[in-house]
Amino acid sequence: MGRELRGKTLGIIGTGKIGREVARRAKAFEMNLLLYDVVRDEEFAKEVGGRYVGLEELLRNSDFVSIHVPLTESTRCLIGQREISMMKPGAVLVNTSRGAVVDEKALAEALKAGRIGGACLDVFEKEPPVGSPILECPNTVLTPHIGASTAEAQREAALIIAEKIRRIVEGRS
């Protein structure tokens, strides 16, 4: 059995370009939005009907947590054992940003113990994730950093590349 998104709370960690697009789509599903970022954009929060909160509040109150931050020293293992322990028992963690933002060992332990509901990962601490404990976990969806590889996305990428080549050939970089 699946779960309906309508009425559920989505916590978005990182409200840059991708996090914002996720928020807009979640709004269409009538989800409640909790936002976390080191730089808050209250106008954006108002646009999507969300609100900025601290990381702990986001983790404690979200049914789904979606991560969209770059890998920096301050985001490495941003989500570790302590943070995962704050999540709701049925919560699902989604990481499509960078693998090292989440402590895979802590996530694997939580999944195996049933402390959270699931994980969807498109990135891993080491790629490919040979020997990763996450590979043997229940309630996971794992993709090899190709979650966005659709026919439409590939066409769009090809058009962008073609346009860049045309500009260079024409001398308009």
Catalytic residue among 47, 56, 127, 163: 127
Which tokens in the block code for residue 84? 């995962």
pLDDT band for 61, please (50, 70, 90 cuts).
Answer: very high
pLDDT band for 147, please (50, 70, 90 cuts).
Answer: low
pLDDT band for 146, please (50, 70, 90 cuts).
Answer: confident
Separation between Cα atoms, residue 87 and residue 94, nearest integer Å: 13
The candidate with the shortest Cα–Cα distance to 40, out of 58, 64, 63, is 58
Taking CA atoms, 45 is separated from 19, 53, 128, in Å, by 12, 11, 36
Question: Is 40 a known active-site residue?
Answer: no
Q: Which residues contact 59 (CB under 8 A, 6 or more apart)?
A: 11, 65, 83, 86, 87
Long-range contacts at 129-133 (CB < 8 A, ≥ 24 apart): 129/99, 129/104, 132/104, 132/108, 133/104, 133/105, 133/108, 133/109
Q: Which amino acid is at 105?
A: K
**Mean per-residue pLDDT, 137-149:** 84
Compute and round to an integer the Cα radius of gyration of the chain: 18
**Mean per-residue pLDDT, 165-171:** 91
Higher pLDDT: 64 or 144? It is 64
For 64-104, the pLDDT digits (tens) are: 999 999 999 999 999 999 999 999 999 999 999 999 999 99
pLDDT band for 148, please (50, 70, 90 cuts).
Answer: low
Catalytic residue among 40, 60, 115, 145: 145
Catalytic residue among 20, 68, 83, 98: 98
pLDDT band for 149, please (50, 70, 90 cuts).
Answer: confident
**Mean per-residue pLDDT, 26-41:** 97
For 97-130, the pLDDT digits (tens) are: 999 999 999 999 999 999 999 999 999 999 889 9
Q: Which amino acid is at 164?
A: K
Burial of 135 (0-12, 13-18, 19+ CB in 10 A): middle
Question: Is 51 a known active-site residue?
Answer: no
Return the percentage of the chain with pLDDT > 90, whole number.
86
pLDDT band for 171, please (50, 70, 90 cuts).
Answer: confident
Question: Is 155 a known active-site residue?
Answer: no
